[in-house]
Structure 1
Amino acid sequence: MTLPRSYRQPGVVLTDHHFTVPLDHDRPDGERIELYAREVVANDKDPERLPWLLYLEGGPGFGARRFTGRQAWLERALADYRVLLLDQRGTGRSTPLNRQTLPALGTPEQQADHLAHFRGDSIVRDAEAIRPALTGGAPWTVLGQSFGGFCATHYLSTAPGGLTAALITGGLPSLDATATEVYEAAYPRIEHKNLAHYARYPMDVERARRIAAHLAERPAELPGGHRLTVEAFQSLGLVLGAGDGSHQLHYLLEDAFVTTPAGPALSDAFLERVRTHLSFAGHPLYALLHEAIYAQDPAVPTAWAAERVRAGQPRFDAAKTLAGDDPLLFTGETIHPWHFTTDPALIPLRETADVMASRTGWQPLYDPARLAANEVPVAAAVYHDDMYVDTAHSLTTARAIRGLRTWVTDEFEHDGVRAGGPRVLDRLLSLVRDEV
């Protein structure tokens, strides 16, 4: 463990922490990887007198958010806690995995073997490995956003003794749904978000169809070499799950074309904005691991579940849409084989992605019996119209975890802890403390 180093931002003191942990916690003498975490403490607090709160970011594949001062939910957390922002293994400064680093591990099969150790089960074991060095062995509170909530649910299943409380925002997973079942539930929600967007912005129906028709004839080259196909354009629907996502999409579509000597063309400004939304350069593990986070049957591969389910959803077929008069439907939190042929950050990893999709031997991530006997205070924000995590799945899981208290709300979308952070976190803390 590297000695911590502290520095300041407005209102807070930050401390960098570095750790080494086993790649495979079942082989503690084998290969080791580095973890990074940033501690945040209010500058008017004595850290030694504060309990710890571990934050697990959504994803998979995203490092912990880089806050400046006391932004978003952090403001509320710092009133009571010493906060640890963990870059989960493979992300941020924690031995990052991407097109530049993965080839050093060998063949696509060897890369996939390595990646199998980057799901929620390994992340929780990392947390338990570093907790004694930080807390002296005392348990801590965990705050899990989205995929971070999946990790928190695994924590409750396997190491509840390490927790004083668990706070989950938009991240109560199904305990037993397959990847196929997850996407069968997802596409109707995605369609609903599309129709709500077009009801708000009816002028976008024609704009989206015009852009898709243009791309069907002439796929565009984005800055940096990203290839914009119709399917890639449809994947901009990922933003519709955020509180301001519909507005973002509208502003993106409203000035897509410019007039050139050769006729109408997609503008450089539009293409650059699209690139920033579509690129996986900053989070390639999101694409590589996304379906694996739902894999729990040792005999069943994920087998490109989102792509298979989409094939049975003709309303998402752009060619059929453009041949008729229906609105173009954008897709959501779905990963497809073509992502690995259009994005320069993913193209070198196509074979690895195929191996991951065909992989078997996945182990269950949740223990229903242990969750049914849970004694850790747990509170979860369940967003009533969440595009990313199925509300029915979340509520079924909520009933399966003993003592869990839910706050079901339609005030926020999936990003509620960011958009309304202090309020959301305050409500969850009140629930686990039996103050409401």
Structure 2
Amino acid sequence: MTSYRQPGLVLTDRHFTVPLDHGAPSGEQLHLYGREVVSSARAGAELPWLVYLEGGPGFGARRFHGKQAWLGRAVQEFRVLLLDQRGTGLSTPANRQTLPSRGGPEAQADYLAHFRADSIVRDCEAVRRQLTGGARWTVLGQSFGGFCATHYLSTAPEGLRTVLITGGLPSLDACADDVYRAAYPRMRRKTEAHYARYPQDVERARRIAAYLVEHRTVLPGGYVLTPEAFQSLGIQLGASDGGHRLHYLLENAFIDSARGEELSDAFQEDVCAALSLAAHPLYAVLHEAIYAQGGAPTAWAAERVRSEFPRFDAEKTLSGDDPLLFTGESVHPWHFETDPALRPLRDAAELLAARCDWPALYDAERLAANEVPVAAAVYHDDMYVDTAGSLATARTIRGLRTWITDEYEHDGVRTSGGRVLDRLLALVRDEA
């Protein structure tokens, strides 16, 4: 273990070994990394543990500087573990550079099938037993981390002291098709709200999309910016400052060059940074698999369901006068053509989309008998997670207390400082 300091904190690098397949514990092993964080004033104290599960899938735990966001509130009473879920961060990576060593697409898909919430929770239990000596711990789950926390309650509640969920109460029985039928209307509402704030962006977005229809545009690093890829910048609209960032991105799109009007280098660099999944390929590869349960394949649900919402068709929109609609939390087959980091994973992704043997993720009966204190922040009209589905799940989990708010967007736990975490702790303790 290596320990070091940031202002007011002591951080320690923690390393763990877990089976790739927890059903075969003596088989192939994976490395997991976690960053322990404790207040320097309480570094030697006996403190309860809180493990943070990041959103995603495919994102390592957030790298904080000092007591940023919710971390300052957490270290007032917890020893925190920022866990890089399998395949992310400093844990054993799974990406275009490492997966070919598994073999062909079938072997890669079989390997990646072990990277959903069920395996992540079993990892947590293995880490908990090593780290706490068997004591229960608190889980803080953001977005997909909340999906993992809900699975945790379904399968291993004996390891849990309390559960805190922010923007991540999943529907217990919705298939991927259901998820996207609810998502596209939210994307439309978020786009309309953006244009209401920034009406000048209506023409800017149409102009950029029209340019992309006429000009094949390859961004730095090889990303192909199609009209559909441009629309996917709408993923920013689910964050507290995302609409502002999108606005400033659009206003800098064009430049008059020696060749005539073209997309500026600055715009192209910023768009590439916003869209590339080179650092988070599992987000694309496993995105629909996190909703898969039972015998039906996901079969590129977001792409199929999109055809039911013709207003999202860029070329049809440009043939008329309607504003261009942005999209967001959805992954499509074309992602594996436009993004060079994803192209080598296309065949494995196709196999995962066709897979029919996904196990169930949630146990409604067990959740109805829950005895673990649980609190969840549900963000009104959350762009990424269906509010109606979250509330239905909240009614299923015995004893769960909800805080429904439109004060924050999906990233409220980060942007609120310690307020969201403080509110959730008060709820589970019956102090609010």
In which range does the TM-score fall when normalised by the shorter chain? over 0.9
Distance 1:21 1:425 in 2: 29
Q: What residue is the counterpart of 2:196 in the other structure?
A: 199
* Contact persistence 1:152–1:168 (CA under 8 A): yes
Distance 2:44 2:131 in 1: 11
* Displacement after TM superposition at 1:261 (Å): 2.1
Selected match of 1:355 from 351, 356, 367: 351
Distance 1:215 1:132 in 2: 53
Does 1:270 pair with 2:267? yes
For the residue of structure 2 that corresponds to 1:134, the secondary structure is: helix
Q: What residue is the counterpart of 1:335 in the other structure?
A: 331
* Displacement after TM superposition at 1:418 (Å): 0.7
Code of the aligned partner of 2:95:
N
Does 1:295 pair with 2:286? no
Q: Any unmatched runs of 5+ in structure 1? A: none
TM-score (norm 1): 0.98
Distance 2:195 2:44 in 1: 49
Q: What residue is the counterpart of 2:34 in the other structure?
A: 37
Code of the aligned partner of 1:304:
W
Code of the aligned partner of 1:310:
R
* Contact persistence 2:298–2:353 (CA under 8 A): yes
What is the percent sequence identity of the aligned residues? 73
Q: What residue is the counterpart of 2:366 in the other structure?
A: 370
Q: What residue is the counterpart of 2:133 in the other structure?
A: 136
Does 1:20 pair with 2:17? yes
For the residue of structure 2 that corresponds to 1:220, the secondary structure is: coil
* Displacement after TM superposition at 1:219 (Å): 2.2
* Displacement after TM superposition at 1:262 (Å): 2.1
Does 1:237 pair with 2:222? no
Selected match of 1:187 from 178, 184, 188: 184
Does 1:93 pair with 2:71? no
Q: What residue is the counterpart of 1:326 in the other structure?
A: 322
Code of the aligned partner of 1:134:
L
Code of the aligned partner of 1:306:
A
Distance 1:67 1:254 in 2: 30
* Contact persistence 2:10–2:43 (CA under 8 A): no
Distance 1:47 1:106 in 2: 47
Q: What residue is the counterpart of 1:5 in the other structure?
A: 2
Distance 1:281 1:391 in 2: 30
* Displacement after TM superposition at 1:379 (Å): 0.1
Code of the aligned partner of 2:222:
G
Q: Any unmatched runs of 5+ in structure 2? A: none
Q: What residue is the counterpart of 2:257 in the other structure?
A: 260
Selected match of 2:168 from 157, 171, 178: 171
Q: What residue is the counterpart of 2:52 in the other structure?
A: 55
Distance 1:261 1:112 in 2: 47
Q: Cα 1:56–1:169, aligned 2, differ >3 Å: closer, same or farther?
A: same
* Contact persistence 1:219–1:230 (CA under 8 A): no
Distance 1:148 1:47 in 2: 29
Q: How does 1:67-86 map to 2 (within 5 A)?
A: 67-86=64-83
Code of the aligned partner of 2:430:
D
Selected match of 1:416 from 412, 422, 428: 412
Distance 1:54 1:255 in 2: 41
For the residue of structure 2 that corresponds to 1:228, the secondary structure is: coil
* Displacement after TM superposition at 1:46 (Å): 3.6
Q: Write out per-residue CA displacement over residues 94-123 of structure 1, whole angstroms, 9 at most, x where no aligned residue.
A: 101100001100110110000000000000
Distance 1:47 1:72 in 2: 24
Selected match of 2:246 from 244, 249, 257: 249
* Contact persistence 1:143–1:167 (CA under 8 A): yes
* Contact persistence 2:238–2:383 (CA under 8 A): yes
Distance 1:206 1:420 in 2: 33
Distance 2:402 2:306 in 1: 31
Q: Write out per-residue CA displacement over residues 167-202 of structure 1, whole angstroms, 9 at most, x where no aligned residue.
A: 000000000000000000000001000000000000
For the residue of structure 2 that corresponds to 1:227, the secondary structure is: coil
Q: What residue is the counterpart of 2:214 in the other structure?
A: 217
Give every structure 1 segment of 4 or more consecutive aligned residues whose post-TM-superposition deviation is greater than 6 Å: none
Code of the aligned partner of 1:425:
L
* Displacement after TM superposition at 1:421 (Å): 3.4
* Contact persistence 1:316–1:330 (CA under 8 A): yes
Distance 1:300 1:117 in 2: 18
For the residue of structure 2 that corresponds to 1:379, the secondary structure is: strand
* Contact persistence 2:297–2:355 (CA under 8 A): yes
Distance 2:120 2:402 in 1: 24
Distance 2:417 2:167 in 1: 12
* Displacement after TM superposition at 1:47 (Å): 4.3
* Contact persistence 1:166–1:378 (CA under 8 A): yes
Distance 1:212 1:219 in 2: 11
For the residue of structure 1 that corresponds to 2:389, the secondary structure is: helix
* Contact persistence 1:41–1:47 (CA under 8 A): no
